Structure 1
């Protein structure tokens, strides 16, 4: 019967100790104002409940009302402990007799615990509880002898002290468990916050970088792609995930990619290669890709991170640089060749003309003079390309320059049954700052090419209009043989010509002159339908 009473009392006490700890966890562990006063009042309430649940044995009440008092002394100090002790004394006096021993013993316990507590500053709360319980036990045994309380029944007193010790132990373990869980939860919360902050940083980088970031496993299956894939390649994440990398790489680049992956798996070192990756619209974009190994727990390669950067613009810049180097080399070559050829060429041409005058004209002389004239034309173009020329800039009317070139080539146009149609859509004249002779040469070369492309005659449409702000646009449209679209990018390269006897230097000189005037030239053409050439030049400032 007594054992059941003990278990019930200890169970109720455990519940009462746990309740504020559980409730406290819902308040984000923010400090309460006057927490010691509140704890003392709650401890007093617990003591009253424990006194009401006491059971009688040999005329004395058995309860564990001093267990919450000892715990409050150990964890929060003397103030809440004394408050809880006062409540327990009042409840004890109200519930049963033996007032003098109860009051005297209470005073001794309060004084003894309050005096002992400063000596236990370096102790942990759990050790303080054990020490304070030891002090309480000594005071209790002293009162047994002072008031002669059942001195012949030591098991009665031992049983009571053990009852209190179990209560203090259970309460202390519950509080310590809560404290440790709180500290662990605080560390976990802090770790989670750091992980979230770190993840947010990396996500911010991954979602806002212009580079492609891809994660794949050892089997080359994609398991993550950055949002930049949709911006640069047009693929949503679901369209790429769980797919093999090789499905998006140009067939010619697949062996290089596989070789890089195998090298990573064997050497565990990063590899860098250039790849062409397919856009969702079917086109190919050039990327410089770096394959980075990610080590697994066993020391092997667990994943591979691929960071790719679009190098299309860099490739274009390299092509432009290569083209500039070609132009520079051609210029140097032109200067040397022209000087070496022109003098003996003039001598040969003179003797051929003299021989023709003396012997009369025949087909061989005409052929020689024609070919010599062609060589002289090439050397003249080479000289204009390679020889530095003095540039004299002046303000010129674009319409007058176009009309001059068209008028100069009118006889040749009539021979081919071609008519120039000039559309001037501007109400006022447009002026540019240029070297007049060079711009005239550009228009002459372009119109001459248009005439030569129309073997069956027709119309060549010329137009002049204002383009984007600060620019004018000259358009030349013919209806000749046209140019295959795949050959358009090569126009303007040194010695590249689509004409049977062309040198390829005319358009090259045009490109050079327009570039020097900070303009641009573009081509649109379809085979057997004709060609549209658009030249943009900056307008002169008022």
Structure 2
């Protein structure tokens, strides 16, 4: 029967100790003010319940109310322990007699425990529990069977009771220690989660707001991470990129180089920098410069490669423009020098041939020489135009008038070659500020090139219309042999021409003049279908 009572007491004690610990763990309550006082009051209430469940033996009452008292002294100190002890004493006096031994024993324990707490304050709570319980055993043995002569001959009963109290202290201590350990683990995990979240947020902030394109690749060449900066550059959403097979969107000419470098990184553990072209969603190609860095795993093998890429399309264009500018500068200086050096002996040679022609009459050789000398003069004039800065006399001019003048000038030649020149204008006036002679040169050059491409005649249509950005669009559409699309970007380069005896300087000069007038010139052509040249020039305000 006593064993059953012990089990009931221990179970209820364990339950009452566990309830606040579980609540604090689950509810994540905020720190409570005067926690020691409230815990001591709750422990006192627990001791009241333990007194109510006390075991009656020959008129004496035995319980484990001192188990919570020992625990409170060990974990919270003398003040909290005394408060808990007051609850237990009041309930003990209220439920049974024999007040004298109860009060004396309680007072002795309170005083001794308070003094002991002062000496063992630097020890851990578990060690304090052991020392306080050992002290309680000593006080109990001296006070109960010896001084008060209670069950002096029943040592088994005293041993059983002390074992009962000890089990209560052990159960309560284990519950508190396990909770504190669990609380420390949870707190440390939360701290680590907070630190990790802050670190992740910091790196995510960098990754999501950098203009560089960051990818993480594994050994199978599949991408596990795309930074959001890919979306505006490539036109794909991140969800679309994650489902793409990377190599299918790399330019066919760059795939082998890309795969070779990636394989070498996994083998040699070295970083690489490479350039490759990636396909935009609209079908175009974007030039990437990528810094690839291998990332080692736990076993010191390369598990991932981080690719930090940058769109260098604009840089490539700038380099091309700079290279073109340098070419123009060099060609211009060279052209001016060569033209001046050629003109002097050319004048002499031409003069003697003309004199010979006058004295001896016309013959095939004279005519051929004079024709070729005229061609040399034309080329040197173009070289001088290219190399020597031209004085700009800007005047407000009607584009329609310039086109009409050019058409009138070329009409005889067009008629001889069975070519019709047609002008289509949306309205009669398209005024812009320009150097008239230079633009005449541009229009003459373009129309002449169109006529030369139409060996069997045809029609050249010149269209004038207003653009959306307050500019004038002048279009030249011929019906000539056309130009292969792959060489259109090279038009305007010095000494690059599709004509057998062409120098390429004519279109080069046209580009230079249009650029000086803050305009643009573009080409659209297909072989056998003719060529469309569009010139955009800003209209006068």
What's the TM-score once normalised by structure 1's chain length?
0.90
- Say which is worse superposed, 282-291 or 170-179, in terms of deviation: 282-291
Compute the displacement of 1:371 (Å).
Answer: 1.1
Alignment-derived partner of residue 35 in structure 2? 35
Alignment-derived partner of residue 380 in structure 1? 381
Is this contact kept in 1: 2:208–2:227, CA < 8 A? yes
Q: Distance in 1 between matches of 2:282 and 2:531?
A: 27
Structure 2 unaligned residues grouped into runs of 5+: none
Alignment-derived partner of residue 327 in structure 1? 328
Q: SS where residue 273 of structure 2 aligns?
A: strand
Is this contact kept in 1: 2:400–2:428, CA < 8 A? no
Q: For residues 215-364 of structure 1, what are the structure 2 equivalents within 5 Å?
A: 215-229=216-230, 231-233=232-234, 245-279=246-280, 283-364=284-365
Alignment-derived partner of residue 536 in structure 1? 536
Q: SS where residue 522 of structure 2 aligns?
A: strand
Is this contact kept in 2: 1:475–1:532, CA < 8 A? yes
Q: SS where residue 298 of structure 2 aligns?
A: coil
When residues 152 and 78 of structure 1 are mapped into structure 2, their CA distance, relative to the original with a 3 A threshold, is same
Compute the displacement of 1:134 (Å).
Answer: 3.8
Compute the displacement of 1:380 (Å).
Answer: 0.9
Q: SS where residue 253 of structure 2 aligns?
A: helix
- Say which is worse superposed, 372-381 or 43-52, in terms of deviation: 43-52
Q: For residues 13-92 of structure 1, what are the structure 2 equivalents within 5 Å?
A: 13-92=13-92
Compute the displacement of 1:508 (Å).
Answer: 0.3
Is 1:526 aligned to 2:523, yes or no? no
Q: Distance in 2 between matches of 1:540 and 1:120?
A: 97
Compute the displacement of 1:103 (Å).
Answer: 2.2
Compute the displacement of 1:290 (Å).
Answer: 2.3
Compute the displacement of 1:381 (Å).
Answer: 0.5
When residues 44 and 456 of structure 1 are mapped into structure 2, their CA distance, relative to the original with a 3 A threshold, is same
Is this contact kept in 2: 1:419–1:460, CA < 8 A? yes
Is this contact kept in 1: 2:472–2:537, CA < 8 A? yes
Alignment-derived partner of residue 132 in structure 2? 132
Alignment-derived partner of residue 451 in structure 2? 451
Compute the displacement of 1:540 (Å).
Answer: 4.0
Compute the displacement of 1:5 (Å).
Answer: 3.6
When residues 490 and 246 of structure 1 are mapped into structure 2, their CA distance, relative to the original with a 3 A threshold, is same
Q: Distance in 1 between matches of 2:261 and 2:500?
A: 47
Q: Distance in 1 between matches of 2:462 and 2:254?
A: 46
Is this contact kept in 2: 1:273–1:288, CA < 8 A? yes
The Cα offsets for residues 305-352 of structure 1, whole Å up to 9 and x where unpaired, read as 222222222222222222222212211221222122111111111111
- Say which is worse superposed, 372-381 or 280-289, in terms of deviation: 280-289
Alignment-derived partner of residue 416 in structure 2? 415
Q: Distance in 2 between matches of 1:428 and 1:371?
A: 41
Q: Distance in 2 between matches of 1:428 and 1:274?
A: 50
Is this contact kept in 2: 1:335–1:382, CA < 8 A? yes
The Cα offsets for residues 43-74 of structure 1, whole Å up to 9 and x where unpaired, read as 12211221222223454333111111222233
Q: Distance in 2 between matches of 1:243 and 1:520?
A: 38
When residues 245 and 529 of structure 1 are mapped into structure 2, their CA distance, relative to the original with a 3 A threshold, is closer
Compute the displacement of 1:232 (Å).
Answer: 3.9
Is this contact kept in 2: 1:426–1:466, CA < 8 A? no
When residues 269 and 522 of structure 1 are mapped into structure 2, their CA distance, relative to the original with a 3 A threshold, is same
Compute the displacement of 1:476 (Å).
Answer: 2.5
Q: Distance in 1 between matches of 2:94 and 2:295?
A: 74
Q: SS where residue 303 of structure 2 aligns?
A: strand
Compute the displacement of 1:254 (Å).
Answer: 3.3
Compute the displacement of 1:185 (Å).
Answer: 0.8
Compute the displacement of 1:518 (Å).
Answer: 2.1
Aligned residue pairs total 540
Q: SS where residue 336 of structure 1 aligns?
A: helix
Is 1:488 aligned to 2:474, yes or no? no
- Say which is worse superposed, 333-342 or 143-152, in terms of deviation: 143-152
- Say which is worse superposed, 160-169 or 463-472, in terms of deviation: 463-472
Q: Distance in 1 between matches of 2:479 and 2:270?
A: 59
Compute the displacement of 1:237 (Å).
Answer: 5.7
Alignment-derived partner of residue 212 in structure 1? 213
What's the TM-score once normalised by structure 2's chain length?
0.90
CA RMSD in angstroms comes to 2.8
Is 1:146 aligned to 2:160, yes or no? no
Compute the displacement of 1:456 (Å).
Answer: 4.2
Structure 1 unaligned residues grouped into runs of 5+: none
Q: Distance in 2 between matches of 1:539 and 1:234?
A: 35
Is this contact kept in 2: 1:221–1:242, CA < 8 A? no
Compute the displacement of 1:379 (Å).
Answer: 1.0
Alignment-derived partner of residue 198 in structure 2? 197
Q: Distance in 2 between matches of 1:531 and 1:37?
A: 96
Q: Distance in 1 between matches of 2:416 and 2:198?
A: 79
Q: Distance in 2 between matches of 1:318 and 1:158?
A: 97
Q: For residues 508-523 of structure 1, what are the structure 2 equivalents within 5 Å?
A: 508-523=508-523
Q: SS where residue 252 of structure 1 aligns?
A: coil
